[in-house]
Amino acid sequence: MSIQRTAVIGSGLMGAGIAEVLAKSGLDVIVREINDEASAAGRARIEKSLARAVEKGKLDAQARDEAMGRLRFTTDIGELADRQLVIEAASENEDIKKSIFAELDKVVTDPDAILASNTSSMPIIRFAQSTSRPERVLGVHFFNPAPVQPLVEIVSSVLTADSVRDSVTEFVAEVLGKNPIQAQDRPGFIVNALLIPYLCSAIRMLEAGFATKEDIDAGMVGGCAHPMGPIKLADMVGLDTCLYAAESIYRETGDPAAKPPVLLSRMVDGGLLGVKSGRGFYEY
C-alpha cells in the first residue's frame, strides 16, 4: 500500500512535529485538534519550526510553503474517514487515547488503514483492543524535536500483523527518511525504558541537594558528550510527559529508578511543565 493520506491526532509538541515531518515528506496531512484555539497553536508551532528549518538552511521557502499547503486542521474526527495512516499524539492519558482509538475505528473506513500511537510508554495492546482491528494497530514513536531527531521506534503489540509492522517500517525509512528500530510492547519500549529512569535520577539528585541543576547538566554535556543535560532535557520533553511516562513504567515494572520524584509531581501540579509553559526547572 502506498501511503498518501495521513492524519495526526493532537498538535502539541510531538503532534505538531510529526505533522511537519509528514507534510515535508510530500504527504497529505489532516491534523485533528479539540478546538480552534488548539488548532491555531499547533499551526503556529509548525510555522515556527519550518521558519527555523529555513533559517538553518535545511529547507527553501518554496518547500516550506508546499509543506504548509499539505496541512489541514480540523476539530471533526469524521473528516479522517479516508485516511490510510493515522498517528495519535494526544496527551499521555490512557483513557483519552483508548477513546480516540475507539472513535478512529468507527470513522476510518479503509480496512487496510493503519492506526498508530506515538505514546512514550503506554501499552499499545490496550489501544489495539479498543478497536475491532487490533492487528492494524502499532506504536510509531518519534523523538523530540521530531523534525530533527532521526529515530523512530516501531512498537508491535502481541497482535500487530507482521505485514503492518513491515510496511510501516519501510514507510518510516523510505518516505520519512528516518531510522526505524523495532521495539517490543514493553513499558518505555527501548529508549524511554533507559531515558526515563535517567531523567528521574537527575531530578532526585537535584531534589536531594546533591548538585545544582547547572552542574548536573554540565556534567553530562561536558563529561559524556550529550547534546543537553538531563534537567534541561526533562524541561524540553515536558515535565508532564516525563511524569506520565515514569508513572506508567513504574506502575508496570516497579523499578525504583522509574519512581516519579516528588519534586517532579509538585512541579507538574504547579503548572511548571518546562519549555512549553515558559517555566520548568529553567525559565524560557
Catalytic residues: 120, 141, 153, 192
> Could you say whether residue 239 binds ligand 3HC (CB under 6 A)?
no
HEC states along the chain?
CCCCEEEEECCCHHHHHHHHHHHHCCCEEEEECCCHHHHHHHHHHHHHHHHHHHHCCCCCHHHHHHHHHCEEEECCHHHHCCCCEEEECCCCCHHHHHHHHHHHHHHCCCCCCEEEECCCCCCHHHHHCCCCCHHHEEEEEECCCCCCCCEEEEEECCCCCHHHHHHHHHHHHHHCCCEEEEEECCCCCCHHHHHHHHHHHHHHHHHCCCCCHHHHHHHHHHHHCCCCCHHHHHHHHCHHHHHHHHHHHHHHHCCHHHCCCHHHHHHHHCCCCEHHHCECCCEC
Q: How far is the CB of 217 from ligand 3HC (least distance, A)?
A: 11
- Nearest residue (beta carbon) to ligand 3HC: 120
> Which of residues 51 and 208 has its CB atom nearest to ligand 3HC in the complex?
51
> Could you say whether residue 237 binds ligand 3HC (CB under 6 A)?
yes
Q: How far is the CB of 56 from ligand 3HC (least distance, A)?
A: 3
**What's the burial of 86, exposed, middle or buried (CB within 10 Å: 0-12/13-18/19+)?**
buried
> Could you say whether residue 225 binds ligand 3HC (CB under 6 A)?
no
> Which of residues 63 and 102 has its CB atom nearest to ligand 3HC in the complex?
63
Contacts of 169 (CB under 8 A, 6+ apart): 154, 180, 182
> Could you say whether residue 44 binds ligand 3HC (CB under 6 A)?
no
Q: How far is the CB of 53 from ligand 3HC (least distance, A)?
A: 3
Is 120 assigned a ligand-binding role in the annotation?
yes
Beta bridge partners of 142: 152
> Could you say whether residue 149 binds ligand 3HC (CB under 6 A)?
yes
What are the backbone dihedrals phi and psi of residue 274, each rounded to the nearest 5 degrees, phi first?
Answer: 105, -150
> Could you say whether residue 244 binds ligand 3HC (CB under 6 A)?
no
Is 178 assigned a ligand-binding role in the annotation?
no
Contacts of 184 (CB under 8 A, 6+ apart): 155, 156
The contact mask relative to ligand 3HC for 83-122 (x = CB under 6 A, - = no) is -------------------------------------x--
Is 276 assigned a ligand-binding role in the annotation?
no
Using the contact rule CB under 6 A, the part of the chain among 29-37, 53-61, 71-79, 207-215 near ligand 3HC is: 53-61
Among residues 8, 9, 29, 53, the one that binds ligand 3HC under rule CB under 6 A: 53
Q: How far is the CB of 149 from ligand 3HC (least distance, A)?
A: 6
Among residues 73, 101, 127, 143, the one that binds ligand 3HC under rule CB under 6 A: 143
> Which of residues 144 and 277 has its CB atom nearest to ligand 3HC in the complex?
144
Among residues 111, 223, 227, 254, the one that binds ligand 3HC under rule CB under 6 A: 227
Q: Which residues bind ligand 3HC (CB under 6 A)?
A: 49, 52-53, 56, 58, 120, 143-145, 147-149, 192, 195, 227-228, 233, 237, 241, 245
Which residues carry a binding-site annotation for CoA? Answer: 49, 56, 120
